[in-house]
């Protein structure tokens, strides 16, 4: 059987995992990847350029059909779900091939997602086993069975929900990710090698996808990790091609087990030796851990801070406080590792004063970068469940989020009404630029901008933030530069491909001819 995956945005490790697994079980795979650089929330977003230079759902559907799939598979994020549905609808107008959806969005809202007529099956949770079962029971225009574990179907009149199968306990038993499926189309992705050494997270922050876990997998152990040998051998294999400049470990928290990290450090330093970046949590960092990371040659650690207000963190069921962050960055500073801090704006109950406190604190600890997100209410999370009761969202807004319709407005700032809330949000938006500026400006400049109120006169908006991000990349370490160049490279390549497909006849490499060469 041949499964064609359809995705947009950046490299997708879940699809690479599923593709490798399907191939190992004797199936064929193809990928239709649309960079969508101007609307993916991951690069230089612009509705004008998106309309001009990005493919329409119909164009993407044509590319999918050209790969001659037996099953079509989408992986949805909340921000990409609407686009995925539009492509799925265009596909159904062209062909009855079964369409299956998986990924974080539908995992968080399976009962709503399966109501969409263009979707034949929705997979929740870990997808390897379910995908293989679905491939094996795929017939010409339908799935022949509806008892596939992890999978939701539309029955006659009622929704069919199947239980989830146990999580894969031994990650070493899985094949390495099929990275080639992305590199064939976007060679720049190989420069920064994305890898995961573990699945799952022990924590349950209410704004995070992992808060769904106890509901979805009651009684299961969430965190599983590959052996050091398995990870290092994979890296050696890819390094031999000579294209990787840097490695990024996307584990939710890389630093959970100091014994594993020590063993990893020795092997990584001796056999890989490339700079790498990873995530930590303030409750998962110690002096020993920082030393082990330094020993391995770690170039940057991303620290999930999110808020410096202990009450907010407690409210979000997130462990940690300002002191834990301080000791974390002290450890990293002492061993000479750069750190970047993740911060969330618009958390429930937080106003401009909380952001000013955060800025004062960040200005003391002086990170190399601050990654700022607005609070997002994601399907299935405990944060979304509570938002209606707490008066933050209306039921109608929740319904739109679950359906993937509120593709932008599911972020906090666009959800509150007029009045004091609106004024507070305006002020937070003015402060936002200081988070981007902080690593580039001196401590005194930031203090002056913040305490004198001069930050209110700074230019702001997405364009300013993007210019600052570019400036930071150019001024910062080579790792950050690599990421920016990869994203810009994806933007250029995506725009070029769409233009070529529209302008050139098939005989000169446009239209369907291009679609054919890029599938598989």
Kindly state whether residue 105 participates in binding ligand SF4, applying the rule CB under 6 A. no
Residue 366: DSSP 8-state:
-
Contact (CB, 8 A) for 251 and 279: yes
Cβ atoms of residues 343 and 355 within 8 Å: no
Q: Does 36 bind ligand SF4 (CB under 6 A)?
A: no
One symbol per residue from 37 to 76: x for binding ligand B12 (CB under 6 A), - otherwise; what is it? ---xxx------------------------------x-x-
Question: Which residue number, 290 or 490, has a Cβ lying nearer to ligand B12?
Answer: 490
Q: Which is nearer to ligand SF4, 102 or 304 (CB)?
A: 304
CA 27 to chain centroid? 27
Give the shortest CB-418-to-ligand B12 separation in angstroms: 27
List the one residue from 80, 338, 340, 480 that touches ligand B12 (CB under 6 A): 80
Strand partners of residue 338: 300
Establish if 249 lies at the interface with ligand SF4 (CB under 6 A): no
Please choose, from the candidates 477, 476, 14, 15, the residue with its C-alpha nearest in 3D space to the C-alpha of residue 246: 477
The whole-angstrom separation of Cα 158 and Cα 283 is 45
Question: What 3-state class would DSSP assign to 166?
Answer: coil
Residue 209 in the binding site for ligand B12 (CB under 6 A): yes
Residue 73 and residue 1 in contact, taking contact as beta carbons nearer than 8 Å? no
Q: Which of 47, 66, 50 is nearest to 6 (CA)?
A: 66
Smallest separation, CB 488 to ligand B12 (Å)? 15
Give the other-Cβ count within 10 Å of 330's Cβ: 14
**What whole-number distance in Å separates Cα of residue 419 and Cα of residue 182?**
47
Minimum gap (Å) between residue 211 Cβ and ligand SF4: 6
Q: Which is nearer to ligand B12, 5 or 362 (CB)?
A: 5
Work out whether 18 is an interface residue with ligand B12 (CB under 6 A): yes
Considering only the C-alpha atoms of the chain, give the largest distance between any 2 of them, rounded to a whole number of Å: 68
- State how far the alpha carbon of 462 is from the alpha carbons of 429, 436, 465, 467, 519, in Å: 11, 11, 5, 9, 34
Structural Rg of the chain based on CA atoms: 23
Task: Choose between 431 and 490: whose C-beta lies nearer to ligand B12.
Answer: 490
Does 31 interact with ligand B12 (rule: CB under 6 A)? no
Q: Is 284 within 8 Å of 257 (Cβ atoms)?
A: no
Residue 250 found at the interface with ligand SF4 (CB under 6 A): no
Residues of span 199-238 touching ligand SF4 by CB under 6 A? 201, 203-205, 208, 210
Which span sits near ligand B12 by CB under 6 A: 127-135, 139-147, 254-262, 400-408? Answer: 127-135
What span, in angstroms and rounded, lies between the C-alpha atoms of 78 and 349? 24
Taking the complex as a whole, how short is the minimal distance between the CB of residue 475 and ligand B12, in angstroms? 22
State yes or no: residue 102 binds ligand B12 (CB under 6 A): yes
Per CB under 6 A, 519 contacts ligand B12: no
Using CB under 6 A as the criterion, which residues of the chain lie in contact with ligand SF4 when the complex forms?
201, 203-205, 208, 210, 252, 281, 304, 318
Using CB under 6 A as the criterion, which residues of the chain lie in contact with ligand B12 when the complex forms?
9-14, 17-18, 40-42, 73, 75, 77-80, 100, 102-105, 107-108, 123, 126-128, 130-131, 196, 199, 208-210, 250, 252, 378-379
């Amino acid at each position: 059987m041949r499964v064609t995956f359809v995705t947009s945005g950046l490299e997708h490790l879940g699809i690479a995992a599923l593709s490798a697994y399907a191939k190992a079980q004797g199936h064929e795979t193809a990928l239709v990847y649309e960079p969508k650089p101007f609307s993916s929330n991951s690069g230089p977003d612009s509705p004008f350029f998106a309309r001009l230079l990005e493919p329409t759902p119909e164009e993407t559907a044509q590319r999918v059909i050209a790969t001659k799939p037996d099953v079509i598979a989408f992986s949805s994020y909340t921000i990409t779900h609407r686009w995925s549905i539009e492509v799925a609808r265009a596909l159904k107008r062209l062909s009855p091939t079964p369409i299956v959806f998986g990924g974080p969005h539908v995992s968080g809202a399976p009962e709503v997602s399966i109501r969409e007529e263009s979707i034949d099956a929705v997979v929740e949770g870990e997808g390897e086993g379910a995908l293989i079962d679905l491939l094996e029971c795929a017939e010409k225009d339908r799935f022949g069975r509806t008892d596939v574990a992890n999978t939701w179907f539309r029955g006659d009149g009622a929704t069919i929900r199947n239980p989830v199968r146990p999580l894969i306990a031994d990650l070493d038993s899985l094949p390495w990710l099929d990275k080639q499926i992305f590199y064939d189309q976007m060679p720049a992705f190989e420069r920064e090698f994305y890898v995961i050494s573990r699945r799952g997270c022990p924590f349950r922050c209410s704004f995070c996808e992992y808060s769904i876990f106890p509901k979805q997998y009651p009684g299961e152990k969430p965190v599983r990790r590959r052996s050091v040998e398995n990870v290092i051998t994979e890296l050696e294999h890819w390094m031999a091609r000579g294209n990787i400049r840097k490695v990024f470990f996307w584990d939710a928290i890389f630093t959970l087990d100091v014994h594993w990290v020590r063993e990893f450090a020795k092997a990584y330093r001796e056999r890989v030796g490339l700079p790498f970046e990873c995530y930590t949590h303030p409750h998962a960092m110690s002096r020993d851990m920082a030393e082990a990371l330094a020993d391995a040659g770690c170039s940057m650690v991303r620290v999930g801070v999110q808020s410096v207000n202990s009450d907010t963190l407690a409210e979000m069921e997130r462990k940690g406080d300002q002191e834990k962050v301080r000791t974390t960055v002290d450890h990293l500073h002492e061993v000479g590792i750069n750190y970047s801090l993740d911060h969330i704006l618009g958390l429930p109950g937080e106003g401009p004063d909380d952001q000013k406190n955060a800025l004062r604190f960040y200005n003391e600890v002086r990170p190399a970068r601050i990654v700022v997100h607005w609070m997002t209410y994601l399907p299935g999370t405990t944060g979304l469940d509570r938002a209606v009761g707490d008066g933050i969202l209306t039921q109608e807004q929740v319904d739109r989020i679950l359906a993937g319709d509120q593709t932008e407005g599911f972020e906090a700032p666009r959800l509150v009404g007029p009045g004091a809330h609106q004024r507070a949000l305006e002020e937070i938006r003015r402060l936002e630029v200081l988070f981007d500026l902080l690593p580039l400006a001196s401590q005194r400049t930031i203090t002056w901008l913040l305490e004198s109120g001069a930050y209110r006169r700074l230019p702001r908006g997405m364009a300013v933030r993007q210019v600052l991000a570019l400036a930071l990349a150019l001024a910062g370490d080579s790792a950050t530069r690599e990421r920016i160049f990869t994203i810009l490279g994806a933007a250029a390549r995506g725009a070029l491909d769409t233009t070529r497909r529209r302008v050139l006849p098939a005989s000169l490499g446009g239209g369907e001819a291009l679609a054919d060469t890029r599938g598989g």
